[in-house]
Structures are given as C-alpha cells and as structure tokens.
Amino acid sequence: MQKTDFLESHKRIKKYIHNTPVLTSQLIDKRVGSKLFFKCENFQKAGSFKIRGALNAILSLPKKDQLNGVVTHSSGNFAQALSLAAAKLEIQAFIVMPSSAPQVKKNAVEEYNGQIIECEPTLEARIKAAKKIEQTHGATFIHPSNNKNVILGQGSAGIEMLEEHPDLDLIFCPVGGGGLISGTAIAAHFFGNKCRVVGGEPTAVNDAFRSLESGKIESNITTNTVADGLKTQLGNHTFPIIQEYVQEIICVEENEIIEAMKLIWERLKIMGHIKFTGIK
C-alpha cells in the first residue's frame, strides 16, 4: 500500500462519512500525565469506524460487480456498516448472521435494508452461507477486516486525526480483526511525524498479542469479554502489517476496560455501543 492509496481512498469516501470530532479532558490528562486526544468514531454513521472500510471496499469494485451486491458474515458493527454503505450506493447487501446474534443487531441491519441470512453460530457455517450467496447472486464477498480496501478505508480515521494533530507521539488503537489498527499504523507511517502505534487488546482474547510473540496467527479459546467487538482474530492481510508497523500490543483486564469506559462516560460524557451487565 502506498501513500497515494490512502489519499485516494479518503477522497473516495469523504462525502459519505463524518469527520468525527476529537475530544479532550484536562482531568484525564492530569490523571495519566499526558495530553490525550479521543477520536470519537462512536459518532460515525452506523455508530463505528466500520463504515469507512465498507464504503471504500464497495466503491473500489467495478460498477458491474456493484450491481450484483455485496455479502459479508458479521454479527456486529460491520454487518450494520456494510448494510448502510450499500443502501447509500443503492445496491443490495447480504448479511450472514449467526442465529444467536442479538435481535437488536438484526433489527439494525434490517433498518439499513440489509438482507439477513441466518446460519449456525460457527465460523464454518458463516463461510459456507456467504459462499452460497456469492454463487447464487454473484455478490462480492467483503471481509469485515481482512481486506485491502477495508484496511485503506479504516486508515482514513488516522489521516483525519493526524491532519488535526500532526505531531502526535503515539496512537493507541484497539485490536480485533486488525483492520483499524492496520490502516491506522500505515497512515501513521505515511502522515505522522515519527508517530508510533500501539494496540490494546483484552487479556481474555489476546490472540494478536500472542501472534506477535509467536510469529504466526493465533486463535482464541474463549470469547468471554465485555469488549464484544474484539471477538475475532487476525487475517493474512492484517497480520503482516501489524508485524511491520505496530510497535506493541498491550493486554488489559476486564475490570480495567470497565473502569476506563466509566471514566470516559463520566468525563467526556460519551459512550459507544457498550452493553453493561451486572456492573455496579
């Protein structure tokens, strides 16, 4: 990927997305002993950064392929993002979702005119169902994270951040499938001023941390974490980028995640799509 790829991708999707605000807190700065800037992608269309990559992936397809629609397998934010992106471009999105997916997420996909295909809650079932849609409708499969154009689209958040604050020393980024941190890390390489990128990951699902240590893609045995958007693993596109451009991945415990969310809510008055259960 080249610098021009990121510039072209950002230009391609710019009119469809929000340039989300960057917030600060003097109290949090004092608490951590640094100046922090929070890029609020929870204010993005469809509620997350995912629509950046979804739009770029669709818009990068030839027109004839766009007309046949797109398909993905997701039970979370990318399902909603691809549905909304497709609706904006007036094409069909087929969303393979496990039968166990929360009804609220299914409702959100349907509100964006995504066509849901339910399957058994296994990765094998998801892949099989998506493949069938490809064969039946000629739809193009778009992976939620392990896709070059998705990575380029996600990197636009980093570009915006660095345009507003060009001298950042470090960007701290969550790691799930690796699409956001991959795009962010390369964006920091091209547009930052010696800006380092560090990942954050729940200890309970620390496959990326372990992958960096072992040099191969690792899987998670459990998905028991409050950070439900990170219940996934790296792919053959995202992992090499992380190996080259991400300096470190820090693991955090569940109580640390919860306390951080509470702090952000109390001081910045914002909250993403977090479901609190049994938290006092």
**Exposed e or buried b per residue across 137-171, where buried means at least 16 C-beta atoms within 10 angstroms of its C-beta:** eebbbbbbbbbbbbbbbbbbbbbbbbeeeeebeeb
Q: Catalytic amino acids?
A: 50, 75
Which fold would CATH assign to domain 3-43+147-268? Rossmann fold (3.40.50)
Q: Which amino acid is at 15?
A: K
The domain ranges of the chain are: 3-43+147-268, 51-141
Which fold would CATH assign to domain 51-141? Rossmann fold (3.40.50)
The pTM assigned to this predicted structure is 0.91
Q: What integer pLDDT is reported at residue 272 of this predicted model?
A: 52
Beta-bridge partner residues of 174: 200
**Exposed e or buried b per residue across 2-26, where buried means at least 16 C-beta atoms within 10 angstroms of its C-beta:** eeebbeebbebbeebbeebeebebe
pLDDT by 10s per residue, the chain, length 280: 899 999 999 999 999 999 999 999 999 999 999 999 999 999 999 989 999 999 999 999 999 999 999 999 987 789 999 999 999 999 999 999 988 888 888 999 999 999 999 998 887 898 999 999 999 999 999 999 999 999 999 999 999 999 999 999 999 999 999 999 999 999 999 999 999 999 999 999 999 999 999 999 998 877 788 887 776 789 999 999 999 999 999 999 999 999 999 999 889 988 654 443 333 3
